[in-house]
Amino acid sequence: MIFITKTFEFSCAHSYDGSPQAAEEGRKFPGDILSKEVHGHNYLLEVTVKGPVDQQSGMVINLTELKRIVQERVIHVFDHRFLNWEVPPFNEKLPTSENISVEIWNLLDGYFPRGTLHRIRLYESRDFYIEYFGERD
């Protein structure tokens, strides 16, 4: 079993003060004063896929293919977006790094032609990151 990791970057704005929908319904999200203001992060995403090495190609998964899938399913959806307004389910779910990690897992799990998704690691900043290994962990 080999573990292969590719790193991506995307930038988003978010706030913990709720979505237009939540505001309409009178729901308020908790959070400190700073994070209620709209702000942004340069997220660093590490996607780790595990699997046996294919004898002919010598690869677990073709990195170009891995890149294409992650870009199509995640980066194009998240990059340069205001999560609370533009990226469901964050119109009704708090766009914390914890929730974003689980969402990215769900967007990718089962979509690789070879290998299995092993880990999502999401850096919100150099000093704070989340790791998620799926529900079975």
Give me the residues that bind another protein (CB under 8 A), please: 16, 29-32, 93-96, 98-99, 101-102, 126-133, 137
81: left (phi over 0), alpha (psi -120 to 50) or beta: beta
Q: Cα(40)–Cα(83) distance, rounded to whole angstroms?
A: 10
C-alpha radius of gyration, the chain, whole number: 16
Residue written as token pair 């079993």: 1
CB-count burial class (<10 Å; 0-12, 13-18, 19+) for 46? middle
Summarize the chain as % helix, strand, coil (round to 5).
30, 30, 40
110: left (phi over 0), alpha (psi -120 to 50) or beta: left
CB of 30 or CB of 40, closer to another protein: 30
